[in-house]
């Protein structure tokens, strides 16, 4: 996997009160947002392609990366995510919902693609399914 190099932000910096001054480009590499890849937080459109693209982008960043799922309802048919390195998928608790829309599938279908990947954390997400669909599980990890 290559190193992710977003376009240069020049000398734009940011500092939290009491924190240290950091270049904006560094801050952007701390996490990847599902919304940056076209996910629909209103639950109308299929957000599966956005989930796969966001996970792929996170895999291109060296180091432990956060995949941010902002508040919303995201329709996911079955997001096949190739996991090359450690990843944290994190949401806003009960207001970040991954809605399974395909019977007999995993909402997140994660495949370990490299030996030694031992860091997958899923936190702050609600998993739900459309009423009447059978066999939906929140996630499956293989590899």
**In the chain, how many domains are there?**
1
Residue 109 lies in a domain: yes
In a domain, 33, yes or no: yes
Q: Kindly state whether residue 5 falls inside one of the protein's structural domains.
A: no
Task: Provide DSSP, the chain.
Answer: -----PPP-TT-EE--TTS--EEHHHHHTTEEEGGGGT--TEEEEE-HHHHHHHHHHHHTSSS-EEEEE-SEEEEES-EEEEE-S-EEEEE-GGGEEEEE-STTSEEEEEEE-STT---EEEES-EEEE-TT--S-EEEEEE-
Domain that holds residue 86: 22-142
Domain membership of residue 2 (yes or no) is no
Tell me whether residue 114 is in a domain: yes
pLDDT band at 16 (very low <50, low <70, confident <90, very high): low
Query: Does some domain include residue 124?
Result: yes
Residue 137 covered by a domain:
yes
Residue 41 binned pLDDT confidence (cut-offs 50, 70, 90): very high
Give 47-78 pLDDT, tens digit per residue. Answer: 999 998 888 888 777 667 788 999 999 998 88
In a domain, 49, yes or no: yes
């Amino acid at each position: 996997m290559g190193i992710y190099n977003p376009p240069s932000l020049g000398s734009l910096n940011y500092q939290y009160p009491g924190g240290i001054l950091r270049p904006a480009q560094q801050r952007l590499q701390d996490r990847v947002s599902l919304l940056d890849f076209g996910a629909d937080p209103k639950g109308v459109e299929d957000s599966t392609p956005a989930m796969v693209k966001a996970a792929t982008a996170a895999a291109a960043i060296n180091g432990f990366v956060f995949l941010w799922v902002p508040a919303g309802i995201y329709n996911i048919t079955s997001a096949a995510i190739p996991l090359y390195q450690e990843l944290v998928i994190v949401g806003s608790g009960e207001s970040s919902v991954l809605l399974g829309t395909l019977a007999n599938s995993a909402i997140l279908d994660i495949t370990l693609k490299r030996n030694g990947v031992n860091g997958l954390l899923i936190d702050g997400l609600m998993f739900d399914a459309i009423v009447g669909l059978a066999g939906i599980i929140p996630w499956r990890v293989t590899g």
